[in-house]
Amino acid sequence: MTIENISSNKVFGGWNTQYRHHSIALNCNMRFAIFLPPQINTGKKVPAFYWLSGLTCTDENFMQKSGAQRIAAELGIAIIAPDTSPRGEDVADDDSYDLGKGASFYLNASQAPWNRHFHMYDYIVKELPELIEQHFPISTQRAISGHSMGGHGALTIALKNPRRYTSVSAFSPISNPMNCPWGTKAFSAYLGNDKDIWKAYDSCELMGTTTELLPTLIDQGNDDQFLNEQLKPHLLAAAAKKRAYPLQLNYHDGYDHSYYFIASFIESHLRFHHQHLCC
């Protein structure tokens, strides 16, 4: 697998870079951003923090708005931020913001026309880590996190692949997509109308059946405009309690769904993951 450098900027002693490559899983060219901390100069491989962004985002939002590089540089953690969906003129799309490009929901689509390109689950779980570990001094120790749709992606991917990740976290995740407007719209289009198939991409359902437990951290703003209709973290908390799953769910007064919220608490997430990546 080959990659093409698009940009490179030094920050906090490390490097924030963008690359382009052809994805076999997605059948199109893809872009990702990666922050390499200064510890790579010692010749040792560093652990990886994979970040999945939300609806309408790209690989740039988190890297430009979160300020995460400062703490990642201190802790010696690489950050990998993929795009949120396949891209290209021949990639299926929709006029609405919550379906199509920028709205993959990090699953493997089975329905036409989406099934030609929308296999983001395979891309995130298999193809991208293989590419990263081939081209960069990155170890096989991985943590995963995300925001909103990306929080949904991080949770479901970790729950389905607990041995691939040391820990998982999320900001304002879509916790029960089977029972919210964003999720039912996307699942109907990408997966069809069989709700038994939907369960494979729903955190509440997966948390009730998983046999391995991963340390899990979620932060949620109480002033989030999507809290009650779309996100429903209380349902995930109920599923975790029933399963005795190690979920820490924090609510924060005054915070909304924006990157201001993420920037306020990203340090605690990186330090949370660092505890598990380095043990």
Catalytic positions: 148, 224, 257
- Evaluate whether 245 touches 239 at the Cβ level (below 8 Å): yes
Q: In this structure, how many other beta carbons lie within 10 angstroms of the beta carbon of residue 103?
A: 24
Q: Of 163, 86, 171, whose CA–CA distance to 123 is shortest? A: 86
Phi, psi of 169 (to 5 degrees): -145, 170
Q: Between β-strands 46-52 and 78-82, what pairing exists: parallel, antiparallel or unpaired?
A: parallel
Q: Give the start-end residues of each E strand in the chain.
A: 4-11, 14-23, 28-36, 46-52, 78-82, 138-146, 168-171, 216-221, 247-252
Q: Which residue matches tokens 């996100």?
A: 231
Amino acid at 61: N
Give just the sign of the alpha carbon dihedral 259, 260, 261, 263.
Answer: positive
